[in-house]
Amino acid sequence: MTAQLIDGNALSRQLRAEVKARAARLRAAGTTPGLAVVLVGDNPASQVYVRNKVKACEDAGLHSVLEKYDAALTEAELLARIDTLNRDPAIHGILVQLPLPPHIDDHKVIEAISPAKDVDGFHVASAGALLVGQPGFKPCTPYGCMKMLESIGMVDLRGKHAVVIGRSNIVGKPMALMLLAANATVTVCHSGTADLAHFTRDADVVVAAVGKRNVLTAGMVKPGAVVIDVGMNRDDGGKLCGDVDFAGVREVASHITPVPGGVGPMTITMLLVNTLEAAERAAA
């Protein structure tokens, strides 16, 4: 068996075309979806992420505002700026790029964003809505993973066992909640879980989100399982790779996401989807 690729680039193009069409209808009705992206400091990776997000907005017909601040910006100044954006009717989504400089409390900043504009899905109110199954914004990376599962027909996971390797609030925990909402039986592990293979060999779906190369190898995967690789690492040659031993696991799994070209493009796409939905709710 050689696994079919779940092409994140292709699915992303499809979803962005839908966003563009919906955004055009919303503009015709008098509302232009707006996203404010706030960058503090000069982290090189953050600058790349921010540029990609702003360009994606423009390509999809969304209005984007990029605000760059020196790393010396105080926490109080950043909170004041977020308060202003919360009250700006032209802005429907606010994204503060992480990480922030050490003197600024990430959690305090995230909680300052209005839940109605929390298009990154990190606010406590968003997490609570996800937990109880109420409308809210889903964190973009797990949301993208679920869309990838849906693309291969895995919408209702009743009777399926899913293993999430990674317990972070950004991916692991919300991913587990979304899988539970799809009726899966879910086990959450991490890279240090004793006998990790004991859990993964029983899984119909494995989501690897640790940030560690080869955390999942072929012998740890049940034949025919679906494998979603959220990891972003570099191999010994400097080439981008995920958390999964792709070459080995591909010969066992039924479906697998590549790195690059898998979950990565879906993360930005779901940010666009969330921003559009925020604008649609505001216009309703």
- Residues marked as catalytic: 53, 97, 120
What are the backbone dihedrals phi and psi of residue 121, each rounded to the nearest 5 degrees, phi first? 75, 25
Q: 234: helix, coil or strand?
A: strand
Let me know: does 255 contact 152? Beta carbons within 8 Å.
Answer: yes
Which residue shows structure tokens 């292709």?
A: 10
- Helix (H) or strand (E) segment spanning residue 228: strand 226-229
Let me know: does 144 contact 267? Beta carbons within 8 Å.
Answer: yes
Buried b (16+ CB within 10 A) or exposed e, 13-45: eebbeebeebbeebeeeebebbbbbbbbbebee
